[in-house]
A and B are shown apart, each in its own frame.
Chain A
Amino acid sequence: MANEHGQKWDRCLADSAVKIATGLGVGIVFSVLFFKRRTWPVAFGSGVGLGMGYSNCQQDFKSPYQLHGHRVKVSKSHTS
C-alpha cells in the first residue's frame, strides 16, 4: 500500500510530462500552422497539457476518497 503513493506519483508525473509535451507539441504545431509562429499557442498548449496533467494527478490521488453521492429524497412518510 505504501507503494501506491509512489506509483501514483510516478503515473502522475509521467502523465503530466506527456501531457505537457503533447500540449507543447500541439501548440507548436498550431503556432506554426495557424498562428504564424507566435509563442502564445506553445504556452497555451503546454499550459493545457500541464493543467490536464495536474487534474489527472489530483483525480488519481483523490480516487480513494471519491464519493459518488446520490441524493436520495426522503419522503415525509419515512421519518414519522
Chain B
Amino acid sequence: MLRVCLKGANSAARKCLCGNGVPLHPLQQCRSYTSGGSGSSAGKIVAASVLTVGGGVGGTILYANWDPKFRANVEKSIPYSDQVFGLALGPAAPPPVINKPRKVEPVQISSMSEMWKDSKQPKAKEVEKKAEQPDAEGPPAPAPQETLEEASAQVAQILSAIGEVPSVPAPGTHEAEAVPPPAALKGVPAAAAKCTECEHEPAVKERPEGEVAARLAEQDKAEQDLLTSLSSNLEDALGSTAKVTLQAIGAQEAALQAIAQHTRQLREAMEAEAPPDKKSTQWRVLEDALSERSRSVDEAGAAVLKAKAELDKLRGVIDGAKHLKIAAARPSILAAEENLHSMVVDLDSVVTRVQTAQSEAKIVSQYSELVNEAKAQFQKELNSITPEIQANWKGLTGKLTQDDLNSLIAHAHRRIDQMNRELAEQRVREQIHIDSALEQQKLEDKKALEVAVSTALEHNREQMRLEQEKKVEETREVMEAEMRTQLRRQAAAHTDHLRDVLKVQEQELRSEAEEILNSSLMEKETEYRRLTQDQLDSFTLDMNAAYARLKGMEEAIDSHVIAEEEARKAHQLWLSVEALNYTLKTAALNDPTEPLEGAVQAIKESCAEDEFAQALATALPSESLSRGVYSEASLRARFYAIRQLARRVALIDETRNSLYQYFLSYLQAMLLFEKAQEAPPAKLSAEDLDTFKLLSYAAYSLEHGDLELAAKLVNQLKGESRRVAQDWLKEARLTLETKQVVSLLSAYANAVGLGTTMAP
C-alpha cells in the first residue's frame, strides 16, 4: 500500500513538473514515463513472487502434516517454524515408544529391596490368579509375609554385623514351613526361594546404628500392627464362627428336640389306644410334629454346613496367622485353635446325637409303619371276611350276628394259629435275623467305632498338638527371655569392650596427634626462622642495591645538572635566535622590520662565553640592527617598480644621458617586449647581460624565492638602470646578509641544542 501511495505521489509530482514545463531534467521525465509503463509489469512480478512464496509455504505445511519426520527436520533447521506449524497443524504427536523403557528404568534405578519386592508382588499376584483360591488370605499373606521376611532379613543382617552370631535362617524356616502348603501359598515359597537369592545380595554392608534402631522400631511397629490386625481378624473370625457354630448347635438341639418329640408322639400314638377322634387329632399332631422335625432337621443340616464353612474359614485364618510366625500372636493363635477345636468337637457331638436320635426315630417310625401295616392287613382281612363291618370293629358288638361272630372267632383262631406259626417261624428267623442284624450291627458298630475312634483320635491328636504348641510356645518364650538376657549381657560386654578399646585408641591417637603437632610446629618454626632470615637478607640486599642506585642516581643527576645547564644555555640561545627570527618576520609589506638590536643584545647575553655566537652576532650589519631589514616580499614587490624604471632608462648610461636618449629609451621600453620571467641559465653569457634579459631573469629568480640570485643578476645591470636599482640592491644585500647570519646562528643554536640533548 505504501508502494501505491508512493507511486501516486511520484506520478503527481511528475505531472506537476510536466505541467510547469520545467525542462530541467528532460531525460528524467522520459524515464518517468517509461517507469510508469513498467509499473504494471512490476506489479505482475510482485504478484507472481507472492504467489510463489505462498505456494512454497503452503506446500511445506501440508507435507509436514503428512510426514512428521520432515516436520521435525524443518523445525530443527528453521527457527520459529515450530510455532508456525503449531498454529497451522496443532502440536506434533509425541513418539509412541516410551512406556517400556520407562517401566524398566525405575526398576533398575530403585534399590535392591524394592526391586525384590516389585518382582515378588507380581509373582504372588500371578500365583493367586492361578490358584483361584477363594480365601482372602492370599494377598495380605504375601504382603505381610514380605515385610516380615524383609524385617527378619534385616534383623539377621544387623545381628551378623554386630556380633559373630550366625544369621537367623529366616528363609530356611520359611522353606521348612513351605512343605505342607495350602494351594494358595504354593507359589509364595517359590518366590521366597527367589527371595533368598536376592536377600543375600543386600546383606553386604552394615547399616548405621541409628538406621538399625529405626528399622527395629519400624519392625516392632509393623509387628504390632500385624499383631493387632491379626488378633482382630482372629477375634472376628472366632466370633463369627462361634456365633454360627452356636447357631448350628442350637439348630441341632432344636432338631434333636423335634425328633425326640416326634418319636415320643409316634410311640404314644402307636401304643396308646385312644378313641378315634382323638386318634385323628393325634395323627394330625403327629404330622405336625413330623413336619416340624423335618424342617428342624433341614435347618440343622444347613446350619451345620454353614458352621462347617465358617470353621474352615477360621481354620484358614488361623493357618495364615500361624504362617505369619509372629511370636506374640502365638497365645492368641493357640487360644483360637483351642476354640476352634472345641467348637468342632461340640458340633460333631451334636451332630452324632442328632444322628442317633434320627436313627431311633427311624426305628420308631419303621415300627410304627409295621404296626400300621399289620393293622391295615388285619383290617383288610376283616373286611374280606366281614365286608359290611367298618373299620372300628370295637364298637360293633351289638350289631354282629352269630355267624358273623363264629366266622369271626374262626377267623380269629385261624389267625391265632397262623400267628403262632408265624411266631415260631419268626422266632427261628429271629435268631438268624438277630445274628445277621448283630453282624450288621457289629459291622456298623465297628464302622461307627472306627469313625468315632478316628474322630476321637483326631480330637486327641488335635488336643495333643495344641498342648504341644502351648508347651512349645512356653518354652519359646522362656528361650526368648533367656536369649534376650544373654544378648543384653553380650551387648553390655560389647559396650564395655568398645569403651576400653576406644579409650586405648583415644590415647594412641592423642599421642600421635601430639607428636605430629610438635613436629609440624618445629617445622613451621624453622620455616619461619628461615623465611625471616631470607627476608632480612633480601632486605639488606635491596637496601644496598637501593643505596647504590641512589648514589648512581645522584651522580647522574649531577651530571644531568651540568648537561641541563648546557641545554638551558643552548635553549636560551635558541630562544633568542628564534626571537631574532621572529623579529625578522615582523616586517610589514612596505616597512622594514623592527630593529634587530634588542634581539641581538639578547643573543649576546645568552651566549656570553660562546665566541662563535658572539662573532656571528657582531657580524650583523649595523643597518639591520638600527633600522631593521626589509622582508623578501616587500623587496619582491618593490622590484617590479624598479624593473619598470630600469626598463625605461635602459639606454642611459654615462655616455648617453641626454633627454633625447631618455626619450629613446622610453620608446624602447614601450616597444620592446620581453618575457616577464625567464629562467636564468647556469652560466651567464655576454648576450645575457642585456638589461631586459637580466631583469626577466631576476624576476624569475625572485618569483622562485631566490633573492640572492636576483640580487646578483641585478648587480650586473649597467648605467642608469644600475643606479636606479642601487637602492633596492642595497636593501636586498642587507636582507640577505642578515638572513645569512641569522640562519647561521639558528643552525648553530640547533646544533648546540642537539648536542646537549644527546647527553650520554
A positions within 8 Å CB-CB of B: 1-2, 4-5, 54, 57-58, 61-62, 64-65, 67
Contact = CB atoms under 8 A, between A and B. Distances in A.
B148 interface: no
B405 to A, nearest CB: 227
Nearest to B729: A1
Contacts of B642: 2
A2 B659 contact: no
B477 interface: no
B727 A1 contact: yes
A4 B657 CA distance: 15
B325 interface: no
B285 to A, nearest CB: 194
B728 A1 contact: yes
Given A1-B723, A5-B649, A62 B728 contact: no
A2 B654 contact: no
Query: Which 4 A-B residue pairings sit nearest by Cβ, starting from the closest?
Result: A1-B727, A65-B654, A58-B659, A62-B657
A62 B724 contact: no
A54 B727 contact: no
B726 interface: yes
Interface string B97-112: 0000000000000000
Contact of B657 (A1, A5, A65): A65
B662 interface: yes
Interface in B631-684: 638, 641-642, 645, 648-649, 652-654, 657-659, 662
Interface string B459-482: 000000000000000000000000
Contacts of A2: 638, 641-642, 645, 724-725, 727-728
Chain A residues touching B, majority SS: helix
Chain B residues touching A, majority SS: helix
A17 to B, nearest CB: 15
A61 B645 contact: no
Contacts, number: 35
Contacts of B638: 2
A61 B648 CA distance: 13
Contacts of A54: 659
Nearest to A54: B659
B654 A5 contact: no
Contacts of A5: 645, 648-649, 724
Given A2-B641, A5-B645, A61 B657 contact: yes
A2 B652 CA distance: 14
Given A2-B642, A5-B724, 16 more contacts: A1-B723, A1-B724, A1-B725, A1-B728, A2-B638, A2-B724, A2-B725, A2-B727, A5-B648, A54-B659, A57-B659, A61-B652, A61-B658, A61-B662, A62-B657, A65-B654
Interface of B: 638, 641-642, 645, 648-649, 652-654, 657-659, 662, 723-728
B725 A58 contact: no
A58 B658 contact: yes
Contact of B658 (A4, A62, A64): A62
Nearest to A60: B659
18 contacts: A1-B724, A1-B725, A1-B727, A1-B728, A2-B638, A2-B641, A2-B642, A2-B724, A2-B727, A2-B728, A5-B645, A54-B659, A61-B658, A61-B659, A61-B662, A64-B723, A65-B653, A65-B657
Nearest to A3: B727
A62 to B, nearest CB: 5
B689 to A, nearest CB: 20
A48 to B, nearest CB: 17
A1 B726 contact: yes
A15 to B, nearest CB: 13
Contacts of A65: 653-654, 657
A65 B649 CA distance: 14
A76 B645 CA distance: 47
Nearest to A58: B659
A42 B130 CA distance: 179
A58 B662 CA distance: 9
Contacts of B727: 1-2
A57 B657 CA distance: 11
Contacts of A57: 659
A67 B617 CA distance: 41
A9 to B, nearest CB: 9
A57 B658 CA distance: 9
Nearest to A63: B657
A4 B728 CA distance: 13
A58 to B, nearest CB: 5
A29 B653 CA distance: 41
A53 to B, nearest CB: 10
B353 to A, nearest CB: 183
Contacts of B652: 61
Nearest to B648: A5
A29 B649 CA distance: 40
A62 B658 CA distance: 7
A13 B404 CA distance: 237
Nearest to B652: A61
Contacts of B653: 65
A65 B659 CA distance: 13
B543 to A, nearest CB: 81
B102 to A, nearest CB: 119
A15 B728 CA distance: 28
Nearest to B638: A2
A65 B655 CA distance: 8
Contacts of A4: 724
Contacts of A67: 654
Contacts of B726: 1
A20 B30 CA distance: 82
A66 to B, nearest CB: 9
Contacts of B724: 1-2, 4-5
In the complex, which of the residues A4, A57, A65 has the most CB atoms of chain B within 10 Å of its own CB atom?
A65
A53 B373 CA distance: 223
A16 B627 CA distance: 38
B503 to A, nearest CB: 133
A61 B649 CA distance: 11
Contacts of B657: 61-62, 65
A61 B657 CA distance: 7
A4 B721 CA distance: 12
B203 to A, nearest CB: 135
A67 B654 CA distance: 9
Contacts of A1: 723-728
In the complex, which of the residues A54, A57, A61 has the most CB atoms of chain B within 10 Å of its own CB atom?
A61
A5 B726 CA distance: 12
